[in-house]
Amino acid sequence: MAERRSIAGALRAAAQGAAPEPAERPTPPPEAGQARPYRARTREGKKMIAAPVDPAARQTLKVLAAELDRKAEDLIREALRDLFVKYGKPGVV
């Protein structure tokens, strides 16, 4: 198994004048006929946003989503649209 490189390790090596280790090469796309990782079409062209929140806020979001029979991510998109409107920004969500 390949050893994982860390930023601290790379900085130590650079400080000691050692040559940096080559970065891992990205995996090539699958050949024709091979299975590809599943990606939902609804997520194509989208970027993930993550933010640490209080556990109670997460739980409240999940309860609200269940009560409204909607997905939590739909409620987050709605909240972002409302935030953009509040500050006069285009609703691009």
Of 49, 41, 91, 44, nearest to 73 by C-alpha is 49
d(CA 41, CA 53): 28
Tell me the Ramachandran region of residue 69: left when phi exceeds 0, alpha when psi lies from -120 to 50, beta otherwise.
left
Domain positions in the chain are 52-93
Alpha helices in 1-93 (DSSP H): 7-15, 55-68, 72-86
Mean pLDDT by 10 residues, the chain (93 residues): 65 72 65 73 86 96 97 94 92 71
pLDDT on residue 1: 47
pLDDT on residue 67: 97
pLDDT on residue 68: 96
Q: How far is CA 2 from CA 5, 21, 27, 35, 55, in A?
A: 9, 12, 15, 24, 36
The one-letter amino acid code at 70 reads: R
